[in-house]
Structure 1
Amino acid sequence: MSAFPALQPTYAPYPFPVVRGEGDRIFDAEGNAYWDFYGGHCVCSTGHSHPKVVKAIADQAAQILFYSTAAQIPVRDKAAQALIDFVNGGLEHPMASVFFCNSGAEANENALKIAAKQTGRKAYASFKGGWHGRSILAISVTDDPKLTPGLESFLVPDTQLPWGDEEALEKADLSQCAAIILEPIQSMAGITTAPASFFKKLRQKCDESGCLLIFDEVQTGVGRMGTPYAAGFYGVTPDIITSAKGIASGVPMAAVILSPKTASAIKSGDLGSTFGGGPLASAALLATLDVIQGEGLMARATAIAERLRKELVGTVVTKVQGEGLLLGLRAPGCAASLKKHLMAEKILVGGSSDPEVLRLLPPLNLSDAAVDALLEAIKSFKN
């Protein structure tokens, strides 16, 4: 018998198995319920097993489970149009088309590849604190030295700029860069934000330098910031938006969303994915967008953020960072012990690379009861 587990370990798991989910809670094998403010790492946008999403998946599975893009599948076409309509609901300049794939890293890899092919350039720019995935181009523009040992010879040149620094951005030479990529809110770095003026300067700088602007909206998209995508929140239209995680409520799916100019330069065969935009994922995407819009979840995300900012004043949380339901709770000197306390109170939150910040990435249909429980637990915490 092998000394190794059949499932290769990745992250340290919760100290209990998750056997069921319902709404904003998950349950262990003994029936204990946990309020889920982590959302499977920002994935469960409509909560766990939302009835409309479950029905859409089941209905689609009864028709056809899968066929690749070798065939036209009506549900895939509907999903693409629905996503474009949703994105454009918050943009001054509309996006044109979408390429479906399977994960955030794959979406970013394709976006960076598109930029290189269209500009003929072989370098990129990104930002300190940015995190874009584990594939080769994505690692190249990710600020996480733990990922790169042994892979250095495969990485492409990348200039890392200080986050949110307009003066440094103005001085940067992007003339050899195919694209500059960023998370509109840096999640792993501790939910760090930048002012709207920074994004407008970024758009201007890219136009002047002839490089593409890529918004990595793997976490900020799909209504999480109270708008369809962060591009609309900040009033800037990038050349490419990447989306994943909550786009299909937990069914693996991602999208590369393209501006008209960028889309027009792509030829048949430039992009491909066997499983991208599969029927189940497409049905789940359609149901996800229907729930988010039909249940007013973008407005709810904004309202919950406002409540938390107001009611956490005077607690160990000195600042609530971020927007909508992509939030960081800054708890200087006690974030780790606060996280343990919340786990003991059966409340799940995420950590970050900033040891003073805990992350909230919950379902957008988070209940008042869940928010009440979080507030009560934080207020009762004794460091």
Structure 2
Amino acid sequence: MNDLTSRYTEALMNTFGPPKLALVRGKGTHVWDADGKEYVDLLAGIAVNSLGHGHPALVGAITEQLQTLGHVSNFFTTGPQVELAETLLRLLGGGVTAQGGGKVFFTNSGAEANEGAFKLTRRTGRTHVVVAEGGFHGRTMGALALTSKAAYREPFEPLPGEVTFVPYGDADALAAAVTGDTAAICLEPIQGEAGVVVAPDGYLAAARRVADEHGALLWFDEVQSGIGRTGDWFAHLRHEVVPDVVTLAKGLGGGFPIGAVVGLGRAADLLQPGNHGTTFGGNPVACAAALAVLRTIEADGLLEHVRVLGEKIRDGLAADPRVTEVRGEGLLIGLDLVSESAAAVVQAAQEAGFIINMTTPQRIRLAPPLVLTDDDAASFLQAWPGILDAAEV
């Protein structure tokens, strides 16, 4: 592991700091490092590896597609591209019907999906966007303009657009910020990077009303919360609110890079030829991978599994008095500790054979594969008090 780490330091830009581990193999919800140590992966590449590591459905779909067509450019189309777009629109179901139809633009990542959606909002003829404090939408220049954390934004200012930040969950502040010049309201139904902060009941519905009052688009960033992560196909479905734009990535490809911008109703036709593009977006291999993920979630009943297991994990974590709050839905889980000891907890968990994530000095995030087993969840909950002890929480 030390050899890989030192080579990493010499060869890669220092954008992430030194790697915590050098991983060499994965199977299911387990990974192994270069020293042969095994870990239960409770982060899944930050909510990416929906089916864990090496799932036969995903490996088979990618392998089969590569044997026919790997890349054709967007001068042409392929069966997987069309079928995936149709499937996403089907899963959005009532939202597509309510808005009178929908269309999809495929990208390679969540940041690129949000860049595309940001450009789409400009086609309304307006430039103002309202977003929430604590929100994270990506690191590219447009997506960064919508991202709340000043430490991310300020070194790269001036950034695109006229952006107003409002407190997340405050419907009155949102209403006060939106005007007749507002192109869109952009919100995460669950804020992932903030530590898994769930939208309060009625908040997304209030955002819909405010958007309608001012003729603005309502855009839900479901990059982290979508594709079954919360026990629903999309986190906003529980709120019974229909957006105009949905952005997706992370879990959609199960580890293979793909993202999507879904426009509903009038938003479906705002981008026209020449307005936007991508070389690799919607390539048949990525689309085949995403279709394998969606089919497996449906065939294996993973939405119900995610709902039930997520509740067990949240209840188990909350049982320790050193945890002051547990939040989330399904297998997107955040918790607060009594002290700013999250970094020590992450390290202690790693030493105990579990990969988890710190989002703030006091907050921990879990986003395991949707195929996490009851046994692996139980082993983590059994180890949890000892992890907190080792971290001296």
Which TM-score bucket, shorter chain as reference? over 0.9
Residue 24 (structure 1) aligned with residue 29 (structure 2): yes
Shift of 1:230: 1.4
1:46 correspondence with 2:51: yes
Task: Classify 1:8/1:235 alpha carbon distance in 2 versus 1 (closer, same or farther; 3 Å).
Answer: same
Q: Distance in 2 between matches of 1:13 and 1:298?
A: 35
**Counterpart Cα distance in 2 of 1:63 and 1:260:** 35
* Identity level (%): 37
1:375 aligned onto 2:381: yes
Q: Distance in 2 between matches of 1:326 and 1:90?
A: 23
- The structural deviation recorded for 1:180 is 1.2
Please name the residue that 2:127 is paired with. 122
Give the alignment partner of residue 96 of structure 1, picking from 102, 116, 129.
102
Aligned CA distance change for structure 1 residues 13 and 325 (closer, same or farther; 3 Å): farther
Bigger mean CA offset, 29-38 vs 311-320: 311-320
Residue 252 to residue 174, structure 1, CA distance change in 2 (3 Å) = same
Q: What TM-score does the superposition give when structure 1 sets the normalisation length?
A: 0.94
Q: Check the 8 A contact 2:96/2:264 in 1, yes or no.
A: no
> Any idea what SS the aligned residue of 2:49 has?
coil
* 2:357 counterpart residue number: 350
* Paired AA for residue 113 in structure 1: K
1:91–1:231 CA contact under 8 A, matched in 2 = no
Cα offsets for 1:301-335 (capped at 9, x unmatched): 11112112322343122322111111102212133
The residue type equivalent to 1:346 in the other structure is G
- AA aligned to 2:213 is E
In 1, Cα distance between the equivalents of 2:18 and 2:38? Answer: 17
**Which blocks of at least 5 consecutive residues in structure 1 are unaligned?**
none
Whole-Å Cα distance in 1 between the matches of residues 94 and 365 of structure 2? Answer: 28
- Indicate yes or no: 2:219 matched with 1:229: no
Give SS of 2:347's match: helix
Most deviating of 94-103 and 105-114: 94-103
Task: Tell me the amino acid that sits aligned with residue 354 of structure 2.
Answer: I
What amino acid does structure 2 have at the position aligned with 1:145? A
* Stretch moving more, 148-157 or 367-376: 148-157
Aligned to 2:60: 55
Deviation at 1:14, TM superposition (A): 4.3
Change (3 A) 1:16 1:335: closer
SS in 1 for 2:154: coil
Partner of 2:276: 271
- With over 3 angstroms needed to count, the CA separation of the structure-2 counterparts of 1:24 and 1:122, relative to structure 1, is same
Other structure's SS at 2:197 match: coil
For the pair 1:258 / 2:263, whether they are aligned, the reply is yes
Preserved contact between residue 95 and residue 242 of structure 2 (Cα < 8 Å): no
**8 Å CA contact retained: 1:92, 1:235:** no
* The one of 156, 160, 167 aligned to 1:155: 160
Deviation at 1:340, TM superposition (A): 1.9
Question: In the aligned structure 2, how far is the partner of 1:324 from the partner of 1:343?
Answer: 23
Q: Distance in 2 between matches of 1:91 and 1:138?
A: 25
Q: Tell me how far apart the structure 2 counterparts of residues 307 and 4 of structure 1 sit (CA, whole Å).
A: 40
Query: Equivalent residue for 1:327?
Result: 333
The CA distance in 2 between the partners of 1:91 and 1:368, in whole Å, is: 35
Q: Any idea what the Cα deviations from partners look like across 1:90-137, whole Å, max 9, x if unmatched?
A: 8773651111011111111111111111x2112211011111111222
Does residue 340 in structure 1 map to residue 347 in structure 2?
Answer: yes
**C-alpha contact (below 8 Å) 2:306/2:331 kept by paired residues:** yes
Q: Tell me, in whole angstroms, the C-alpha distance in 1 between the residues paired with 2:344 and 2:264.
A: 45
TM-score (norm 2): 0.92
Q: Which residue of structure 2 aligns with residue 220 of structure 1?
A: 225
Alpha-carbon contact 1:331-1:356 (below 8 Å) kept: yes
Q: Report what 1:361 is aligned to.
A: 367
Distance 2:318 2:50 in 1: 27
Identify the residue that residue 295 of structure 2 maps to in structure 1: 290
Gaps of 5+ in 2: 1-6
Q: Work out whether residues 318 and 326 of structure 2, in 8 Å CA contact, stay in contact via their aligned partners in 1.
A: no
Which one of the candidate residues 167, 182, 203 is aligned to 2:208? Answer: 203
